[in-house]
Structure 1
Amino acid sequence: MGPKRIVCLTEEPTETLYALGEQDRIVGISGFTVRPTIARKEKPKVSAFTSAKIGEILKLQPDFVIGFSDIQADIAAELIRNGIEVWISNHRSVEGIFEYIRRLGALVGAGDRANAYADELRRGVDAIQAEAAKLPHRPKVYFEEWDSPQISGIRWVSELVQIAGGDDIYPERAVMPLARDRILADPSDVIGRAPDIIIGSWCGKKFRPEQVVARDGWNAIPAVRDGELHEIKSPIILQPGPAALTDGLEALKVIVRRWASRQD
């Protein structure tokens, strides 16, 4: 039961529906989708993140469109005006991701499978958190979503850093749901917070550590001094879906463990 022709405007519903074995319901996806790789081969790409091919979506005759966040509000409004049912999720936390998976599963009549999948993901997250609790040292971590202007990490990323064994230097900013509220008005503030690790995930473009090193005064930061500048690709950490809880968290774990191993 449930909707039979679904358009996914972001990656996380696509990845979730494939994981639940409900991929046949998907008739269109985001052009930024990279997980699972097969989706790019077999599903038409009809949207970016802030824009969509409304005409192409309507030709697909969807009975349900799934998007994410206020940034897609205009897309949603246009589709609604054309008589399409739209669900815009707006979760920003690790717990929100788990609940998102359960809700999406229930909407397509796969509630039991979604609950089992969410439980499986939680076991993986809990295992990493338990390992992290044994670390003798916890690094201070600066996570940067964008470089110009500099934007610190969103809430689920901050929480995953904590789960992996680090401490986000901007937890007070992480709770701000909108990117504009996480812009660093004074980038030199990072110097004073002295992160041990800097992680870049510049959404849609390659992280350039040499540009970070060249910032005025940043050579005094422990992470820069010690060469602890790392990239995590945005598709596995900045999508609030299964990828963040699996490959994204695993990447954070590896970075933190390597740092911790060098402290003794």
Structure 2
Amino acid sequence: MRHFPPQRIVCLTEETVETLYLLGQEDRIVGVSGYAVRPPRVRREKPRVSAFISADIPKITALAPDLVLAFSDLQADIVAELVRAGVAVHVFNQRDVAGILAMIRTLGAMVGVAERADQLARSYEERLAAIAATSRPGPRPKVYFEEWDDPLISGIGWVSELIEIAGGEDVLPDLRRKAAAKDRIVAPDVVRAAAPDVILASWCGKKVVPDRIRQRPNWDTIPAVRNNRIVEIKSSLILQPGPAALTDGLDAIVAALWNEG
């Protein structure tokens, strides 16, 4: 990082974009991921320089960033190229709710607004606590969350936690500690045996087709399928570990579990 706070930031994933906007620091952003859609004006205001596991390195270096923000081992190849090009990079790797809150505070400190970031994180902590404390009618619904359909992938950490905060019970809670998607592949029979009351699906950027879920062999015995409780949650709300998941993503889970909204 050449300057503190950095003046020219490129964000390779969407959650850091949204966080910087919420912190009033959007003027520092000079390039964003093509998936960045929050707030909506980001699509008009900022040049897109990357997908998720690929990026236009010359386009990024031409922006002369003094900081690039990346996420996880999935962006390791992009990061290596940028580091070799002499660019300062910070790679976040938050996988749970505590990690999301820490990311917000860390990013705030990096851009010189630590107090504002702490206030933002604290507001989310209070919101999560209030939703978790809400009394709900009836037993906790059993929930299967599907991140991909072929093979079936479930259980990403923060989503599993948010299901519980929303008053549900994740039917595959042991998978939440597995960071790599390949370690969260589940057999269709395991889901069938778990008998979820609700199926939440977010197929990582492609549209969920509920009929494809219904037509899986022997899945007609699953309560969620029988009772037509298969709900898509947009990837931009739930699969990015940032403010969206803690706000609109969580609200979408609550609505799906308790038939609200």
TM range, normalised to the smaller chain? over 0.9
Distance 2:96 2:175 in 1: 13
User: Given the alignment, which residue of 19, 22, 32 partners 2:22?
Assistant: 19
Runs of 4+ that moved beyond 2 A: 133-136
Give the Cα–Cα distance (whole angstroms) in 2 for the partners of residues 7 and 146 of structure 1. Answer: 28
Report the equivalent of 1:151.
153
Q: CA deviation at 1:94?
A: 0.4
C-alpha displacement of 1:187: 1.2
What residue is the counterpart of 2:256 in the other structure? 255
Q: 2:45: which partner in 1? A: 42
Tell me the alpha carbon deviations over residues 155-183 of structure 1, each in whole angstroms, 9 at most, x when there is no partner.
00000000000011111111100101001
For the residue of structure 2 that corresponds to 1:146, the secondary structure is strand
Is the contact between residue 191 and residue 221 of structure 1 (CA under 8 Å) also seen in structure 2?
yes
Query: Aligned pair count?
Result: 257
Q: 1-side partners of 2:159 and 2:183: how far apart?
A: 16
The unaligned stretches of length 5 or more in structure 2 are: none
1-structure distance, mates of 2:144, 2:26: 36
**What is the SS of the residue equivalent to 2:203?**
coil
Give CA deviations for 1:49-93 in whole Å, capped at 9, x if unaligned. Answer: 000000000000000000111100000000000000111101100
- 5 Å-filtered alignment, 1:110-125, equals 110-125=113-128
Aligned partner (choices 6, 16, 25) of residue 3 of structure 1: 6
Aligned equivalents of 2:137, 2:33: Cα separation in 1: 39
* Alpha-carbon contact 1:199-1:229 (below 8 Å) kept: yes
Flag structure 1 segments of 5+ consecutive residues without an equivalent: 260-264
Q: Distance in 2 between matches of 1:41 and 1:156?
A: 30
Q: Does the Cα contact within 8 Å between 1:50 and 1:71 map onto a contact in 2?
A: yes
* Equivalent-residue separation in structure 2 for 1:94 and 1:153 (angstroms): 14
Q: Does 1:177 align with 2:179?
A: yes
Percentage of pairs with the same residue: 54
SS of 1:188's equivalent in the other structure is: helix
CA distance, structure 2, for counterparts of residue 181 and residue 135 of structure 1: 35
**Aligned 8 A contact 1:46 1:56 in 2:** yes
**CA shift for structure 1 position 134:** 4.2
CA distance in 1, matches of 2:9, 2:189: 45
Alpha-carbon shift at residue 121 of structure 1 (Å) = 1.4
- The equivalences for 1:98-137 within 5 A come to 98-131=101-134, 133-137=135-139
Q: Return the alpha-carbon distance in structure 2 between the equivalents of residues 80 and 38 of structure 1.
A: 30
Native 8 Å contact 1:2 1:109 kept in 2: yes
Where do 1:156-171 residues align within 5 Å? 156-171=158-173
- TM (normalized to structure 1)? 0.96
Whole-angstrom distance in 1 between the partners of 2:137 and 2:245: 22
Residue 262 of structure 1 is matched in structure 2 by none
Q: Give the structure 2 partner of residue 29 of structure 1.
A: 32
Aligned to 2:246: 245
Cα deviation code 1:121-140 (max 9, x no counterpart): 11111111111x54431010
TM-score, normalising length from structure 2?
Answer: 0.97
